[in-house]
A and B are shown apart, each in its own frame.
Chain A
Amino acid sequence: EAGVAQSPRYKIIEKRQSVAFWCNPISGHATLYWYQQILGQGPKLLIQFQNNGVVDDSQLPKDRFSAERLKGVDSTLKIQPAKLEDSAVYLCASSFGLAGGKPGELFFGEGSRLTVL
C-alpha cells in the first residue's frame, strides 16, 4: 500500500516569496491534516479536512497561509508571503476519519522542509 506522498522534500526561499506544498494521502482516507513542526518542537495542526471540507483551521495563519483539497483527494498548502518564522517541516497526514482504523492512527508523509532566508 502506498503511503502519504509529499513534495517537494526540501525548499529554500527568500522572505516575502511564496511557496506551495503538495500532499497525496493514502487512497480511501477521508481525513487529511497539515501540521507544522518547528525544530525542537512537536507538530502543530494547521488545518484538517474531512473529504473536501474544512473541519479545523483555527491555528492556520490565514493572512499568509492557505490550503485546499478541491476533489477530496490531494491537497495543497501555500504560504504567501513567507516569513523567517515559517521555517519548519510541513507534515501531511491522513486517516480513515471517523469510521475504521484505530483512533488517532494518523499516517504521515516524510514532510517538506522549508527554509526561509
Chain B
Amino acid sequence: AQKITQTQPGMFVQEKEAVTLDCTYDTSDPSYGLFWYKQPSSGEMIFLIYQGSYDQQNATEGRYSLNFQKARKSANLVISASQLGDSAMYFCAMREGRGGSQGNLIFGKGTKLSVKP
C-alpha cells in the first residue's frame, strides 16, 4: 500500500496567485514527520517545510505553509503569491518514528507545478 499519495500529476497557477498541492499519507505510527521538498529541473531536492505529528499548529516557512489535518491524514502544501521560480516538481514525504527524526524518508510520486506569467 502506498504510504504517500499525491493525486495531482501536474498543476498550473497564475503568477502571484496561491496554490495548494495535495498530499495524503498512511501510517499506524503515532509519531511521524511530514515534509515537502522542491525539485527544480537542475535535479537537487530542496527542503521546504516540516510538520511533526504532535505539532499543534500548522507549519509555516515564508510563503510556504502546511495545512495539516491529522484526522484526515492529509498534509497539503500551500504556496502563497506564486513566483515563476516556483515552477518545479514538489514531493511530499514522511518519516515514521520519533517525530520524523529517524527512519527512512518515504516520498510520494510528486506534483509538477507550472507557474504562468
Contacts and interface: CB of A to CB of B under 8 A. Distances in A.
- A interacts with B: yes
Interface of A: 3, 33, 40-45, 48, 56, 89, 91, 93, 98, 102-111, 113
Given A89-B43, A108-B45, 20 more contacts: A3-B44, A40-B109, A42-B93, A43-B45, A43-B91, A91-B43, A102-B47, A102-B50, A103-B33, A103-B95, A103-B101, A104-B33, A104-B93, A104-B100, A106-B45, A106-B47, A106-B105, A107-B47, A109-B44, A110-B44
Contact of B50 (A40, A48, A103): A103
B109 A104 contact: no
A104 B44 contact: no
Interface residues on chain B, size class: 20 to 34
Interface string B96-108: 0001111111111
Given A40-B109, A42-B108, A104-B50, A111 B43 contact: yes
A29 to B, nearest CB: 13
Contact of A111 (B44, B101, B109): B44
Contacts of A48: 104
26 contacts: A3-B44, A33-B105, A42-B91, A42-B93, A42-B108, A44-B107, A45-B104, A45-B106, A56-B104, A91-B44, A98-B101, A102-B47, A102-B50, A103-B33, A103-B95, A103-B99, A104-B35, A104-B101, A106-B47, A106-B105, A107-B47, A108-B45, A110-B42, A110-B43, A111-B43, A113-B43
